[in-house]
Amino acid sequence: MPVYVRYIDLNGCKNSYCIPEKPNGYAIFMLLDYQTLHSGHAEHFIDPFVKKGYTVFSSGLLIAEWGSKKAVKHAEHLIQLLLRQETINEKIFLCAEGTGALIAQQLCCSDDIHIRAAAFINPLLSLEDCFLHYQDDEVTLKRFKKEMSRQYGLKHCDRKIVANLDTKLFTAYHLPVQSFLQHVKRDSAEESTKVNLSGTRTLANELSGFYQTFISAT
């Protein structure tokens, strides 16, 4: 468990740092949207990293942002703030789930921060991917279009328009990135909950092994 959790309000958005008892000098920025790891399991996912000495920080900036430049700038400022406040290696790790990959990919191209490696969990890698992912759910697709219109100043939102936005948002990057595809059942039964927690911890251990290869190589 962490020695403490520090909460920081940045630009009106709630952010948190989990500080380990024995820091290993490395930090992980987590961009979780709870597509795989619903909120009740998030702490069980984060805890193994903290126990291994990682400083883990996260932000509530993902809701309704959809990879906007505002969200990316917020993430950059949060990372820079952490680097000023904590004694950690300036090259951080990324962990992005679902729509978190929209922001993470842009961070991989940033000139202002340094990423060591990134792990993506069930990633949605473009706005077009999001559109297709939600198109069979009328309510969710309607919300997506509404939030996209607000974030990007669109009068109309369809597949062609979001595909055009993708060409402006995402550019090539050359960093170690690995995708992890994970299915976690959402059954509310007690036994299924235990299985879900086990799967969550297994996923955390797989990601931890991925990150460790880049520490061992330094």
Give the Cα separation of 82 and 15 in Å (integer). 11
Pick among 3.40.50.12780, 3.40.50.150, 3.30.70.580, 3.40.50.1820: CATH of 4-125+173-216? 3.40.50.1820
Give the Cα separation of 193 and 148 in Å (integer). 34
At residue 39, the pLDDT reads: 60
Give the Cα separation of 196 and 109 in Å (integer). 34
Domain chopping of the chain, boundaries: 4-125+173-216, 127-169
User: Environment class of residue 67 by beta-carbon count within 10 Å: exposed (0-12), middle (13-18) or buried (19+)?
Assistant: buried
Name the stretches of the chain with pLDDT < 50: 188-192
User: Any residues with CB less than 8 A from the CB of 185 and at least 6 apart, and which?
Assistant: 192, 195, 196
Give the Cα separation of 105 and 175 in Å (integer). 10
At residue 184, the pLDDT reads: 54
At residue 89, the pLDDT reads: 95
At residue 201, the pLDDT reads: 85
pLDDT digits (tens, 9 = 90+) for 115-155: 999 999 999 999 999 999 999 999 999 999 999 999 999 99
Helices (DSSP H) in 138-189: which residue ranges?
138-152, 159-169
At residue 154, the pLDDT reads: 94
User: CA 71: distance to chain centroid?
Assistant: 12
At residue 218, the pLDDT reads: 65
At residue 183, the pLDDT reads: 66
